[in-house]
Structure 1
């Protein structure tokens, strides 16, 4: 007959619970999988499946009692790490949402809004279109697979322990969020510059012919020019997204490196 020691069973449970906490934290907030369109049952199933597959190749876990304060702290730390990694990736997609809002405000397309099914909020159509575009590019470039690979490698570079993210790590995340706004401005800059030229031209026309109804003419022209600029930049946007995604993955590797 086999005899099981309570300590051995507790360590065996901890070996699966700690990785599950980090993996489920990532799947909870990462793009596509972490949206409201994916049910919680599917996310839990994916987290369990990934955990069962990767646990045999992971480094040894801390041997603590499964039902103890130390175990609870470690689980919370791992959950926070996974949520932080997923949130940083989510900020990459929000770059293009912010860029779409900037373009929509400049072109007059901001009045066209729709409900984002992934967030349940009302957003402008341009932002939603950009979000769909970058989501498809993210999947086509196997970004979700690379992200999971980085997460699994983080168990070796950032081992499971009582220690989580420190002040320097949170400082890096804050600086990364600042990069999000600057990148969104760079993406929207061509449309903003083109519409600035159009508005200057309308200003000259208004001075030359004051009787011209510039508001009736300017609104459709700015919309057409904005759509034309977006059409010109659509091919470069996918290339730029790949560059941003490579930058993101390098940042995640730097954030989870403790060796």
Structure 2
């Protein structure tokens, strides 16, 4: 009798699929919570395919022995719930840290719009899921373009993929450091947002004081017909003039975001 062709056992295939699904948890959670890719404007099919492809190096490293993936038998018990929770938490917090810091751009745009009287110029933002000022959306797009232009997305993905070796699945995780990283990101968001909006807001504040003095000196002048056009024109000019300073401030947001993710997952600045 001729020997049968070699094949794979069903149990082995099921175990590999379980490990592959496990390898997608951390990187998938990060992509869902990260800025840009986690927006509602990205189709679900694109997200799913990206997660499947990005998990290939992790699975290949697990097969080659470079990444210590749990055995299929270890994922069949209740003890696997703790490992699953840890993997999802690491990915979500890493993505949320970037999202929180990137909120500095929207915060700066929102405050500039409120100071310039452009808060009513709002439209639906698919990324935020609600009405936001146009200036805030422009700052958000500017932030995203800087992030992509500086290859920040590649650096962040590299840090998450390398974290499978520095923080192997199932290894104990210091949740205190994770919480501290999230709280620090929240405080830094306000500081970085203030640095981005301060040049324009300071000039607009001086302009509003000057308009108030003029209208006080000449009560016959209508505040809205006199001050509002000047404020709008000055805002557009200031946004153009301060664009290099704003870009430098938002680039600091990218740098701090990558560094925060690296410190949380690797204990360093992510090589940036």
Give TM-score, length-normalised by structure 2. Answer: 0.86
Instruction: Give the alignment's TM-score, normalised by structure 1.
Output: 0.90
1:61 is the counterpart of 2:93 = no
Matched, 1:145 2:149: no
CA distance in 2, matches of 1:100, 1:119: 14
Say whether the 8 Å CA contact 1:96–1:131 is kept in structure 2: yes
Q: For 2:172 and 2:21, locate their aligned partners in 1 and report how far apart those are by CA, in whole Å.
A: 17
Distance 2:7 2:205 in 1: 78
CA 144–35 in structure 1, closer or farther in 2 if over 3 Å, else same: same
**Paired residues for 1:1-259 under 5 Å:** 12-57=16-61, 58-63=66-71, 64-161=73-170, 163-257=172-266
| Unaligned segments of structure 1, at least 5 residues | none
**Aligned pairs, number:** 258
* Contact 1:20/1:48 (<8 A) preserved: yes
In the alignment, the residues of structure 2 paired with residue 174 and residue 251 of structure 1 have an alpha-carbon distance, to the nearest angstrom, of: 11
Check the 8 A contact 2:197/2:246 in 1, yes or no. no
Alpha-carbon deviation of 1:234? 1.4
Distance across 1 between alignment mates of 2:10 and 2:223: 84
C-alpha RMSD of matched pairs (Å): 2.3
Shift of 1:55: 2.3
Question: Contact between 2:177 and 2:264, CA under 8 Å: does it hold in 1?
Answer: no
Q: How far apart are 1:91 and its partner, in Å?
A: 1.8
Q: Is the 8 A contact 2:101 2:185 kept in 1?
A: no
Partners of 1:18 and 1:160 within 8 A in 2: no
Deviation at 1:14, TM superposition (A): 4.9
Any conservation in 1 of the 2:97–2:260 contact (CA below 8 Å)?
Answer: no
